[in-house]
Structure 1
Amino acid sequence: MLLFGGVQVVMSQIPDFHNMEWLSVVAAIMSFTYSFIGFGLGFAQVIENGRIQGSITGVPADSVADKLWLVFQALGDIAFAYPYSIILLEIQDTLKSPPPENKTMKTASMIAIFVTTFFYLCCGCFGYAAFGNNTPGNLLTGFGFYEPYWLIDFANACIVLHLVGGYQIFSQPVFAFVERWFTNKFPISGFVNNFYTIKLPLLPSFQMNPLKICFRTAYVASTTVIAMIFPYFNQVLGVLGALNFWPLAIYFPVEMYFVQNKIQPWTRKWVVLRSFSFFCLLVSIVGLIGSIEGLISAKFG
């Protein structure tokens, strides 16, 4: 984890989204690679078992309350499944026209949702069919004692590289927001606004800003410490997914749609979208509650 944090400290000095095309491409390739491996290994394991593991009711629990907690936590994990809405506008801002950026982004979003859903369903369904109630949160760890070891190691390496890119892509909006705020708040501060050219041996010259170095390093250090305190993959994803899902993926898009299309209150479309937004709010709330409960249970047993 410390090594991962150290890599992120260096990678976090990438100026902005416009300089991250190569990192995004690498992360996407790694994602496809380990998804194919997970899907293939799950499918092969089902064939080797000769039957489908698990049941239609899912993982058993000691009580109805425990089952509800697991369901709520699962809702949080599902809410994290499509987190790209957080950075959608930033990505769209990097596109060139013609064609119009919004049309290109709409097409790309539809393709991304379709492909992502395909891999989620394949890995999730075949993973559960392969391991049943013993399916691990990280599917690839379930193959840890099976051949081929080299393929498992390669897939895990792809996951690490994907996380390196994913961390930076989702952190860039935070960096941009904070640095923009400091720039507006302290317009004459040299610490905030001055850039210095640095030239290292065998590397091209690049510009560094004191605020960026300090803030981004502190940000990475704090998230690394939190990750070390709570090294619980599914529960943490559930918390993050529940926190981000409703406001960023549902509420703001619905409100913008109302304004853009001048939807009048209490019309059929208004009622349907309001009801949908409220339902998703409830999903986010129960997902957050379940994920926090799972995090506490995992930490304190």
Structure 2
Amino acid sequence: MPKSRERERERERQMAIELQKKSSLFMEQAPEVIESGNGTRKNIDDDGRVKRTGTLMTASAHIITAVIGSGVLSLAWAIAQLGWVAGPAVLMAFSVITWFTSTLLADCYRSPDPVTGKRNYTYMDVVRSNLGGIKIQLCGLAQYGNLIGVTIGYTITASISMAAVKRSNCFHKNGHHVKCYTSNYPFMIIFATIQIVLSQIPNFHKLSWLSIIAAIMSFAYSSIGLGLSIAKVAGGADARTTLTGVTVGVDVSGTEKVWRSFQAIGDIAFAYAFSTVLIEIQASQSSTLDTLKSSPPENKVMKKASFIGVSTTTLFYGLCGCVGYAAFGNDAPGNFLTGFGFYEPFWLIDFANVCIAIHLIGAYQVFCQPLFGFVESWCRKRWPENGFITSEHAVNVPLYGVFYINFFRVVWRTVYVIITAVIAMIFPFFNDFLGLLGAASFWPLTVYFPIEMYIVQSKMRKFSFTWTWLKILCWACFIVSLVAAAGSIQGLVKDLTTYRPFKSQK
């Protein structure tokens, strides 16, 4: 019997490796792909891959994990720069635009028909099928550059939250007047070490459990921040708020007002940055063709998931941003949980920051897995005979079973995490970095490519009413992204000239 089980395991391993060689995105496919008695393969989707197990719930969890992140922490500051009128208006505008363009992108997952067409497994594949030409390279530059930036941003934010736990205990023990400086560098190293381990998860569809945990954490710390803000307002906080935000001549100079307003727009744009991984999330959902019955088409599932994800996060964003502004007024900190707008109860502040760190551990993986898949797929195609790149080695892991290790995957993913951590150490500026990422990614990935691909796929007539207003929307968002980028770059330059590396960043 032991020999029989060993032969069966070896046969399953060989089957998994054969299927993996046919994959264009993931390094490894699950070993449950086996031959049944009648010669047909079980658990296979209509495209020959392992049957997808994603659902509306897991898709929504992925989206919420990707959307609710470090962006929520800066919204009180962003609303403070813009005021009661422009702040909520900008927040709602980005929400509606992001949801709308996400529905366009969901229809482009299959081409030429959104329900029965050929699947496209990555954002670049969608652009290749619908636009082609140099736009493929431009999309790759924008998408993967943004994914790298997001992982750097999450390293910065998670380390700040980890350091905030230590500072919170210091304040509680020694008093709020003590400076309690804490370096973020050791916590960046801890975060990177955790990511090196998690990055060995071979493919995207095995991350559902991590996304669900991360989504719970995001709700937890958002709710804590909201609850503390409400308590501060109910306690009679004498916060100065205005319709136009920070006041020129009182809070800031005229020039600072302009730059900060631009940066605030970038921070809000970053808060809604998830289009870069929407296609990869959709590719992990259930197939439209099932051996027993027809499942809902992926585009319909993703439209519902996008609505659930964006509307849920907008509710939290609006509450956290507006109530946070009401609590702190024009003096709102850049990060209202680590900037110590709150000191007590210190244990609740600690718990909220731990939740942030756990959430960003999962969100980091959601954003970096598409990049991992792209690089590994390209290398397999470029060097198909290289055993270091293509060979899978089975290892028996206690309480888990057989785990497949690829040496190239181990080395390259480890190096990637280390590089992002080093860059985060060089530029540990929370608001400025997030604003720049939001400005750089919002227009090309959230607006331009989804609109252009939808126009091509639907064969929309040029200069028709719909074509015209879609183009107007596209160019308006381009201008907004330019001014947001300018504000964030100015903020980065200013911070670099005054940066003290051993002072904990707020």
Q: TM-score range by the shorter chain?
A: over 0.9
Provide Cα deviations, 1:252-296, integer angstroms capped at 9, x if missing partner.
110111012111212221111111111111111211121111112
| Letter of the structure 1 residue corresponding to residue 286 of structure 2 | K
Match for residue 286 of structure 2 among 96, 119, 122? 96
Residue number in structure 2 paired with 1:169: 366
Residue number in structure 1 paired with 2:229: 42
Q: Which has the larger radius of gyration?
A: 2
Residue number in structure 1 paired with 2:240: 53
Match for residue 325 of structure 2 among 120, 123, 128? 128
Distance 1:217 1:35 in 2: 31
Q: Matched residue of 1:95: which SS?
A: coil
Residue number in structure 2 paired with 1:113: 310
How many equivalent pairs are there? 301
Structure with greater contact order relative to length (CA < 8 Å, sep ≥ 6)? 1
- The normalised TM-score by structure 1 is 0.95
Residue number in structure 2 paired with 1:27: 214
Distance 2:343 2:254 in 1: 35
Match for residue 437 of structure 2 among 198, 223, 240? 240
Judged with a 3 Å threshold, the aligned counterparts in structure 2 of structure 1 residues 9 and 129 are, in CA distance, closer, same or farther, namely same
| Letter of the structure 2 residue corresponding to residue 2 of structure 1 | I
CA contact (8 A) 1:53 1:128 kept: no
CA contact (8 A) 1:143 1:152 kept: no
Distance 1:237 1:220 in 2: 19
Match for residue 193 of structure 1 among 390, 394, 406? 390
Shift of 1:110: 0.5
The answer on 1:228 being equivalent to 2:415 is no
Match for residue 479 of structure 2 among 252, 263, 282? 282
- The normalised TM-score by structure 2 is 0.57
Residue number in structure 2 paired with 1:67: 257
Note the residue ranges of structure 2 that are not aligned, 5 or more in a row: 1-187, 288-294, 499-506
Distance 1:59 1:199 in 2: 60
Distance 1:103 1:177 in 2: 26
Q: Matched residue of 1:58: which SS?
A: coil
Shift of 1:52: 4.8
CA contact (8 A) 2:332 2:341 kept: no
Choose between structure 1 and 2: higher helix proportion. 1
Judged with a 3 Å threshold, the aligned counterparts in structure 2 of structure 1 residues 70 and 145 are, in CA distance, closer, same or farther, namely closer
Larger CA deviation: 194-203 vs 7-16: 194-203
The answer on 1:76 being equivalent to 2:266 is yes
Judged with a 3 Å threshold, the aligned counterparts in structure 2 of structure 1 residues 99 and 200 are, in CA distance, closer, same or farther, namely closer
Provide Cα deviations, 1:130-189, integer angstroms capped at 9, x if missing partner.
111221121113556532111111110000000000011001111111111111111111
Distance 1:18 1:50 in 2: 46
Match for residue 160 of structure 1 among 353, 357, 369? 357
| Letter of the structure 1 residue corresponding to residue 189 of structure 2 | L
Distance 2:273 2:339 in 1: 25
Larger CA deviation: 169-178 vs 126-135: 126-135
Distance 2:247 2:190 in 1: 37
| Letter of the structure 2 residue corresponding to residue 54 of structure 1 | T
Distance 1:211 1:242 in 2: 34
Note the residue ranges of structure 1 that are not aligned, 5 or more in a row: none
Q: Matched residue of 1:49: which SS?
A: coil
Distance 2:490 2:404 in 1: 45
Could you list the structure 1 runs, at least 4 aligned residues long, displaced by more than 6 angstroms after superposition.
Answer: none
Residue number in structure 2 paired with 1:87: 277
